[in-house]
């Protein structure tokens, strides 16, 4: 079966607006450090105006993963909704620059392109206020069936469930994938998403080949405190389960085997955690599709995530691919 | 080329006599905790008599590695010298029980079988007093050329250099291996060995395919404080270089590529570090010969070493192979 794409990402097209802030900036606004919450357009505009030196880049959890895989050399496509406004054009060009196909037609009416205001505190932690805008209006009819059926993995983020008809869009994408005997990967995205859509996630789980999440998301999903027990439950139905454990490393399991912890790579200085989990998932899928073992793919994903943490912004830097190739050559020679 | 054995170990045949001691036991005898030094037969007998609950097992750095590889399923043989005494018979039976071939004829005269008195302090650290005995009299004529030329890797420990004609025996074994286009692995063994035979080790290095050591041994070998620089020097001439960094993990490199750190697996409780480095080398060679990548072999060796650290004694426990197979099945499924 010939594949047009390695990975097809289906998610929210959001433009990241990032800036460094002092702890006091968030405290004075009563915003919890490390939180992610949804805001309306006015609040997003107000918050953005109070920031200095804002760096804009195409973002959103799903696109971040796809960009990492593209940067490593995977042929990827992204399905998501932007508006015809300047931010939408920025998003589109940014994906195309890295070699990722993005052909979802932009909405010529309705809300503006989604934006995520990312406030980075001196500890490298990110606090996000997201205005979903038009990104939250991705309908089943927006899905490019040829792209989905021609991809080895279709990657869906839990955030998608939070859109109008998002659940239907996600399930339709899974249907197309399963009908073509393709793999489906799901990122749990955030605890608030898991809490809101728990029954539907549990029902969808047997259709998921690769599940990504962190400890809190997994605990919330199964309403169980023991991560080991959650891993067992998830791995009974999913082929591969990857759960990050803080900045310590990642637990992997699958097929009801044995949960194994793989320690993280040491990072000299945490600059900005934005997108590290997204990069992890993107790198894991890239290496797994290249034929790496679970251990190899997870280790390289650890390295990739450590590189993203070590600089400003959610996106890999220009020397990312060559750096990763150097790691590869030593570890696989 | 058909191989009779996966690994042929050439080293000192020593019986380990292990016991738990209090820190004061060593302090009152002015023995540095964590040190390894050579003693004569009388001192070994005296020290052993002052210990309670001594556990005897066939040991010696090289045999420990070979036993680990055997326990994982590799077909191995060991070349080393014991006496016809009870300890010698104990050593021979112990290797045979685990499926390892040991056919070096025992010495019917001369010193008794070598013994290593291993004092284990409550921190899991091992302090060793070694009486080499007849193990130090392994001559080139003792080498089983068929076994050496029929093995995929011949594994030599630096300790061998410290025997009478040990250097000649080691170099002869390397000669046989190289003449048959086989791989040679060397463990640097200990700083005092490296200090004593540095020029000869440096000269031998280009003949070594896999080099094992720790940071201190590598620093001593190249008389250079920067481990990165030492790694570069070693990897310029060796195909694979594996250097343990305390209990933090291991650095791997080779062919002049890029030194990469692989973090250690977490250990719940350090019980006894005896033989952890030896097990690391044995497990690495086992998995590498099975076709694992450097990363996979090193990670599995980390797991194997963590298992040996978690119990009393230098040898893997009876459930070692099945435990390792469970790790394997998750990490490679």
User: Average pLDDT of B225-237?
Assistant: 93
Cβ B249–A263 below 8 Å, yes or no?
Answer: yes
Which residues in chain B have Cβ-Cβ distances shorter than 8 Å to A333?
240, 254-255, 257, 294
Chain A nearest C-alpha distance from B243 (Å) = 14
Position B135 pLDDT exceeds 90: yes
Q: Which helix (H) or strand (E) holds A315?
A: none
Is residue A333 a part of any domain in this protein? no
| pLDDT over 90 percentage in chain B | 64
Which residues in chain A have Cβ-Cβ distances shorter than 8 Å to B327?
258, 260
Which residues in chain A have Cβ-Cβ distances shorter than 8 Å to B252?
330-331
Is residue A96 a part of any domain in this protein? yes
The larger pLDDT score, comparing residue B125 to residue B173, is at B173
Which of B251, B325, B327, B331 is the best mutation test for A, with the most CBs of A within 10 A? B331
| CA distances for B255 relative to B174, B209, B285, angstroms | 20, 10, 18
Please provide the average confidence, as pLDDT, over all residues in chain A. Answer: 90
* Nearest CB neighbour to B255, from listed A258, A296, A333: A333
pLDDT in tens, B61-110: 999 999 999 999 999 999 999 999 988 999 999 999 999 999 899 999 99
User: What pLDDT was estimated at residue B313?
Assistant: 62
| CA distances for B61 relative to B190, B195, B279, angstroms | 10, 18, 9
User: What pLDDT was estimated at residue A274?
Assistant: 60
Is residue A332 a part of any domain in this protein? no
User: Average pLDDT of B262-268?
Assistant: 77
Domain that holds residue B184: 5-332
Which residues in chain B have Cβ-Cβ distances shorter than 8 Å to A266?
261, 263
User: What pLDDT was estimated at residue B320?
Assistant: 84
For the complex shown, is ipTM > 0.85? no
Taking the Cβ of residue B322 and every Cβ of chain A, the question of whether any pair is shorter than 8 Å is answered with no
The values of phi and psi at residue A46, to 5°, are -60, -45
**Strand locations in B246-322 (E):** 249-253, 260-263
Number of domains chain B is built from: 1
Taking the Cβ of residue A245 and every Cβ of chain B, the question of whether any pair is shorter than 8 Å is answered with no
pTM: 0.82
Burial letters A53-72, b for 16+ CB under 10 A, else e? eeeebbbbbbbbbbbbbbbb
What A323-330 contacts at long range (C-beta under 8 Å, 24+ apart), as own/partner pairs, is A324/A72, A324/A283, A324/A300, A326/B257, A326/B258, A327/A300, A327/A303, A327/B258, A327/B260, A328/A300, A329/B257, A329/B258, A330/B252, A330/B253, A330/B254, A330/B257, A330/B258, A330/B259, A330/B260, A330/B294
CATH number, residue A58: 3.40.1190.20
Cβ B263–A259 below 8 Å, yes or no?
Answer: no
* Total residues found in chain A within this entry: 333
User: What pLDDT was estimated at residue B184?
Assistant: 96
Is residue A131 a part of any domain in this protein? yes
Taking the Cβ of residue B295 and every Cβ of chain A, the question of whether any pair is shorter than 8 Å is answered with yes
Cβ B260–A333 below 8 Å, yes or no?
Answer: no
* Nearest CB neighbour to B329, from listed A257, A265, A299: A257
* Nearest CB neighbour to A294, from listed B261, B265, B331: B331
Rounded CA-CA distance B217/B187 in Å is 10
Rounded CA-CA distance A298/B80 in Å is 41
Most confident of A65-69, A309-313, B161-165: A65-69
Place of tokens 């090289």: B62
User: What pLDDT was estimated at residue A318?
Assistant: 73
User: What pLDDT was estimated at residue B35?
Assistant: 87
């Amino acid at each position: 079966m010939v594949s047009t794409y390695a990975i097809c990402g289906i998610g929210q097209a959001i433009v990241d607006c990032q800036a460094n802030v002092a702890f006091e900036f968030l405290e004075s606004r009563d915003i919890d450090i490390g939180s992610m919450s949804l805001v309306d357009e006015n609040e997003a505009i107000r918050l953005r105006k109070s920031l200095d030196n804002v760096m804009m880049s195409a973002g959103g959890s799903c696109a971040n993963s796809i960009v990492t895989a593209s940067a490593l050399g995977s042929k990827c496509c992204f399905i998501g909704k932007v508006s015809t406004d300047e931010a939408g054009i920025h998003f589109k060009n940014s994906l195309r620059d890295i070699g990722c196909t993005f052909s979802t037609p932009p909405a010529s009416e309705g809300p503006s392109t989604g934006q995520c205001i990312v406030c980075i505190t001196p500890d490298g932690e990110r606090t996000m206020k997201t205005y979903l805008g038009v990104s939250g209006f991705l309908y089943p009819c927006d899905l490019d069936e040829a792209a989905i059926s021609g991809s080895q993995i279709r990657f869906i983020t839990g955030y998608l469930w939070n859109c109008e008809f998002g659940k239907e869009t996600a399930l339709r994408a899974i249907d197309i994938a399963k009908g073509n005997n393709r793999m489906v990967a799901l990122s749990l995205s955030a605890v608030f998403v898991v809490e809101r859509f728990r029954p539907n996630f549990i029902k969808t789980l047997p259709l998921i080949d690769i599940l990504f999440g962190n400890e809190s998301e997994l605990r919330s999903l199964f309403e169980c405190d023991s991560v080991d027990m959650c891993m067992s439950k998830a791995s009974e139905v999913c082929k591969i389960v990857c759960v990050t454990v803080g900045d310590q490393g990642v637990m992997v399991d699958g097929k009801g085997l044995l949960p194994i912890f793989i320690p993280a790579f040491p990072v000299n200085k945490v600059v900005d955690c934005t997108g590290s989990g997204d990069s992890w998932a993107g790198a894991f899928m890239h290496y797994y599709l290249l034929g790496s073992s679970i251990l190899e793919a997870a280790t390289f994903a650890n390295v990739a995530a450590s590189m993203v943490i070590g600089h400003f912004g959610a996106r890999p830097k220009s020397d990312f691919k060559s750096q990763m190739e150097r790691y590869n050559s030593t570890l696989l020679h």
